[in-house]
Structure 1
């Protein structure tokens, strides 16, 4: 392809647009990977660590832009990462949650550019209802899934690895080689290189092997 030999710089990510509905999303790009997760699972912090931009994804605990589908352009045209709405706000009306659910479903089912999902879970509280819903959707559709177990600094290495291996065994039985998992700490800057490498694999097909992940 024409973009061969280019390097993917995740720290080049820039805000593109926020969408409330599928028809407000930008034209289907060549490829994008979407981040999903429950509220307070650390999704925004993970995106900010990935991109080395502390202000890229909103980390507010109150509803706002975090309840829209947010698109971020990378340095190679047509390649994006996407921040999907978080769930769990107790003060949000049921009707609003239903609206978000409807349009999140539409995005997941009809977005042709979607190449994979990064499911962000707090390592201390994995596989809650929203997580199970996302895993089930990937199981049914064959969509590649990368599980990011955040806040791993809150556990010592032994319990963190135990949680990782237990969940890995459970999910591989359901998703086979379409699932990958890792621990991650935005606070300690741990797991960033591994996440970048996996995103590169998801974004680029076998025809794009000349496009590489930049360690910066």
Structure 2
């Protein structure tokens, strides 16, 4: 797939603000500072479509981006960032859940994990949640330029075992720095698995 057009549509605080047309949506979710914004910017060939912040936990709303005038990328708030209040964490969880529960237009959820580390408890919960509600899930391991070939093989097994992935579920390694894995991610966003 090739993305020729990408445009910001809305930052929504609640589901009444979500786009009401029936275009397919691909949601991106992951822990704060895992590289969601960088991945979306890379996939869309737009350096500043999604604001990349040096402060984790900046995305607090559900952000919709129209892609090729055909479907949406949806950037969900990052989870697992410790330096916010409990009430704010609860609000983020409510926002994420408010989007994910019963969203008919949601075609796939892209779960980002850090390729250098074992998935967190929050990553496991999110993966289980995606599966429980029957959504297609694509696991993307970010920051892959920071691991060696040997570490990559070892870490892939750790990610697979920790998330308890099915044998047919692939892990896509991606680097926003080198763009390694970009085309593979793009080509599999709308696969039928």
Give the TM-score of the pair, scaled to structure 2.
0.90
Q: Which residue of 1 aligns with 2:117?
A: 125
The gaps in structure 1 that reach 5 residues or longer are 1-7, 206-216
Query: Contact between 1:49 and 1:189, CA under 8 Å: does it hold in 2?
Result: yes
Q: Distance in 2 between matches of 1:20 and 1:201?
A: 30
Q: Which residue of 2 aligns with 1:155?
A: 147
Q: Which residue of 1 aligns with 2:29?
A: 36
Q: Which residue of 1 aligns with 2:174?
A: 184
**Is 1:68 equivalent to 2:61 in the alignment?**
yes
Secondary structure at the aligned position of 1:126 is classed as coil
- Alpha-carbon spacing, 1:92–1:76, altered in 2? closer, same or farther (3 Å): same
1:29: Cα distance to partner? 2.9
1:35: Cα distance to partner? 0.4
- Alpha-carbon spacing, 1:11–1:169, altered in 2? closer, same or farther (3 Å): farther
Give the TM-score of the pair, scaled to structure 1.
0.81
Secondary structure at the aligned position of 1:105 is classed as helix
- Alpha-carbon spacing, 1:124–1:174, altered in 2? closer, same or farther (3 Å): closer
Q: Which has the higher helix share?
A: 1
Residues paired across the two proteins, number: 193
The gaps in structure 2 that reach 5 residues or longer are none
Which structure has the greater CA radius of gyration? Answer: 1
**Pairing of 1:136-215 with structure 2 (within 5 A):** 136-168=128-160, 171=163, 175=166, 177=168, 179-201=169-191
Deviations, residues 93-112 of structure 1 (Å, cap 9, x unaligned): 22122112112112111211
Secondary structure at the aligned position of 1:148 is classed as strand
Determine which structure has greater relative contact order: mean sequence separation of CA pairs < 8 Å that are 6+ residues apart, divided by chain length. 1
Secondary structure at the aligned position of 1:146 is classed as strand
- Alpha-carbon spacing, 1:63–1:167, altered in 2? closer, same or farther (3 Å): closer
